[in-house]
Every structure is written in structure tokens, then in C-alpha cells.
Amino acid sequence: VSGTFGADLILVGFGNVCRRFVRLLEERAEELRGVHGVDWRIIAIATGRHGSARGLRGLDVTRALDLLERGGSLDEIDGFGPAAMPALRETADPRVPASSPRSSAGLIGQVAAAARAAGSPRPLVVVETTVLDINAGQPAIDHVRAGLRAGAHVITANKGPVAFAHAELTAMARSAGLCFLFEGAVMDGIPVFNMAAAALPAVQVEGFSGVVNSTTNFIITAMENGREFAESLAEMQAAGIAEADASLDVDGWDGAAKAAALANVLMNAGTTPQQVERSGIGHLTVADVQGAVAKGRRLKLVARGRRTGSGVTVRVSVEELPANHLFSTLDGQQNALVLETDLLGDFAIVQLGGGLTQTAYALVTDLVAVARAARHPLEP
């Protein structure tokens, strides 16, 4: 690889996914640096309730992780704080936005401006992993906007921005010559979006169907085996797989957000999760799922998108499928997505094992994709 892409990372959200991401970077550092020419420093970490830390020379991530594991606040290691780097604390530089540094969008602008003011030539990458807001995708959309406005590439595992504002954010990124990537939004790290962008030129996606929510598939499978709904849900929450607000999974909102993301990216649908016709699995009983099995069938929460004469219709609902259907072979947390295309016909992507590492890996692939794009920018 010619030239190292030495990025300064601004981490917005530092929960399960992002902590696994920074550990994964370290675990694969040799290959990322040696083979892919990707290097990084973490210059800011913002959280909701656990403080924030900034340090233009790179933060000590091990210390940050230790602090949070001990229940501390990142404010303790903030390099712009009262004790350190007073020049950076001041907002005298006109390039530092006046917006409150207390909001994460403000922090992004402030840190980016401080890095520029300090003469850093390193590319900036915002890594957005805050929780999904199903009403409007906020404040994650503002975090993406703030990053792009500040000249940073943005990568995210949060479905909100791509489910609610894909067209706007992609246009913003393109016009600034930056990347906005979101591989982790659907099927964890299994390549869906980056695969489509890289490997499906001139292919029209006519529709899709998928089992894309691991938590609900796990619960349905457990109920087939006689286990109660609440018990299986608790297991998914303990494993960090279920959304922080588990009703997002159970009521089909996570599926609707993923379906909207797929429809927006692959079919240019311009839709939102609210426009997805949606039902969840909350009404299902052990008797329902076992009744389907007794008929040689299985219940699955299926997301579908289809191009029609007037646009793209998207829905998420429980379907009773025959035993020989691809989706009926999916147990536990397994996912599958079928893309219906004009040139390649129908093809499936199946995820047989998913989880935190896979989602964190999506961010790694996005970071490598940013590095590739930065080395070979498209002509304007």
C-alpha cells in the first residue's frame, strides 16, 4: 500500500460496540498498519453520562477503558481541562465554533477546529456509536452533520442516520469529498453496503427480504424450544445484543430502521422507519410458535422492500414460512438477506454467527474503506 492513512479518531459514543472496536483495532494493529496502511490515534471520546475527553496528541485508551470500567468519568483525563493545554481550552480561535462543547456535535466541531489550528495535517474520522433514536435518528444525525461540516469522514454503526437521512448525509459527504459509511447498521460486519458499493456497479436492486434482527429471531427460536419470551430477551440484553431499549427489537422498530436503511441505500427510497409498515413479535406466545412448527412451518420476523410504480414499499411483519424456505433454516441470532436484482437475479447473504465483534468489525472495514477512498479520491 502506498502511503499510510494516519487518522485522528473522534469517538462519539463509547459503549459496547465502540469499546470492542478500539480493542479490535489494537488486536489487528499489525495487519492494519502493515498490510492496509491504516494508522490511528484517538483524539476525543464523547459519551452521554460518562464525561468526555480530548487530547490532540492522542488519548490513553487503556486508561479511558479502565476509568469507565471503574465507574469513573472521562472528564478526569480530558486534555483540554483546567490543568492542561490552556491554549486549547480557549475558544479564541475563530475557527472553533461557538456551539456548546457540552453537546457532542459541539465537541466534534471544537476538537476538529483545534486540530486544524494546531496545524495537524492528519485526516479526521468521526466514529458514531450512540444509541438508536427511533423518532428522528437524533442526535446521531447532528453528529454526522457536525463531523462532515468539520471536514471529517464519518463512520457509524448506528442505523438512525442512514434510516432517516441517507440522501442528505451522502450528498453532504460527496460534495465535501468525504466518506459517510455505515456497514454496521445492518447484519453487523457482514458486508452489505460496502459490498454493494464496490461489487454491484450498474445493478438495479428491485427488492429485498430479510431476517435482520438477531434478538427477535433468538427469542422465536427459544420459544420453539419451550422457553419463555422474557427469559430469552433477558439473555440477549445480558449479552449486549438487544438494543438498550429492548422494545425497539420486540416491536419491530429495529427491523423497520434496518429495512429503511436498506431501502434508502440500495433502492434510493428516501423513506424513514415511521413510513415502514411495521408489526413486532410482542404478541407471540409459545403456543403460536410451536403451533407453526407442528405444521412443519416456522414463524419469522421478515423485513421486505419492493419497488412499485409509485416508489418503494417497505414492511416488517411476522410471516409463517414453509420449512424449506431459506429463512426457516435460521436459528438463534442468525440473519439472512435476499437481494432481488435485475442483472444477478436473486442472491442471499447469510450470517451464521453474529455479535459484538462483528459489529465492531464493521467499523474496522469502514475505516479501511475510508483509507482506500482517501488514497484514490473520485474525480469531482
Residues contributing to the site for ligand NAP (CB under 6 A): 12-18, 46-50, 104, 129-132, 139, 157-159, 184, 188, 240-241, 243-244, 356, 359
160 or 207: CB nearest ligand NAP: 160
Are the C-beta atoms of residues 90 and 77 closer than 8 Å to each other? no
> Minimum distance from CB of 185 to ligand NAP (Å)?
7
Per the annotation, the verdict on 159 as an active-site residue is no
209 or 359: CB nearest ligand NAP: 359
Kindly give the interhelix angle for 104-117 and 140-149, rounded to the nearest 10 degrees.
Answer: 20
> Minimum distance from CB of 300 to ligand NAP (Å)?
19
> Minimum distance from CB of 177 to ligand NAP (Å)?
26
150 or 292: CB nearest ligand NAP: 150
> Minimum distance from CB of 284 to ligand NAP (Å)?
22
- Per the document, the length of the chain is 380
Residues 160, 140: Cα–Cα separation, whole Å: 7
Q: Strand, helix or coil at 56?
A: coil
Q: Strand, helix or coil at 263?
A: helix
Catalytic residue among 159, 258, 295, 300: 258
> Counting beta carbons within 10 angstroms of the beta carbon of residue 87, is it exposed (0 to 12), middle (13 to 18) or buried (19 or more)?
exposed
69's grid cell: 470500567
Q: Tell me which amino acid residue 76 is.
A: E
328 or 351: CB nearest ligand NAP: 351
CA distances from residue 234 to 96, 242, 251, 337 in whole angstroms, order as listed:
44, 9, 16, 26
For 25-109, strand residue ranges (E) read 38-46, 52-54
178 or 257: CB nearest ligand NAP: 257
231's grid cell: 427469559
Candidates 194, 212, 186; CA nearest to 359 is 186
Q: Give the helix/strand (H/E) hosting 348.
A: strand 346-351
Q: What are phi and psi of 307, to 5 degrees?
A: -80, 130
Residues 7, 63: Cα–Cα separation, whole Å: 20
49 or 283: CB nearest ligand NAP: 49
8 or 243: CB nearest ligand NAP: 243
> Minimum distance from CB of 379 to ligand NAP (Å)?
34
> Minimum distance from CB of 291 to ligand NAP (Å)?
31
> Minimum distance from CB of 91 to ligand NAP (Å)?
20
Sequence-distant (≥ 6) Cβ neighbours of residue 351 within 8 angstroms? 187, 188, 190, 334, 335, 336, 358
Residue nearest to ligand NAP (CB): 15
Tell me the DSSP string of 108-154: HHHHHHHHHHTT--SPEEEEE-PPP-TTT-TTHHHHHHHHHHTT-EE
Preceding peptide of 139 cis, ω within 30°: yes
**What residues are labeled active site?**
258
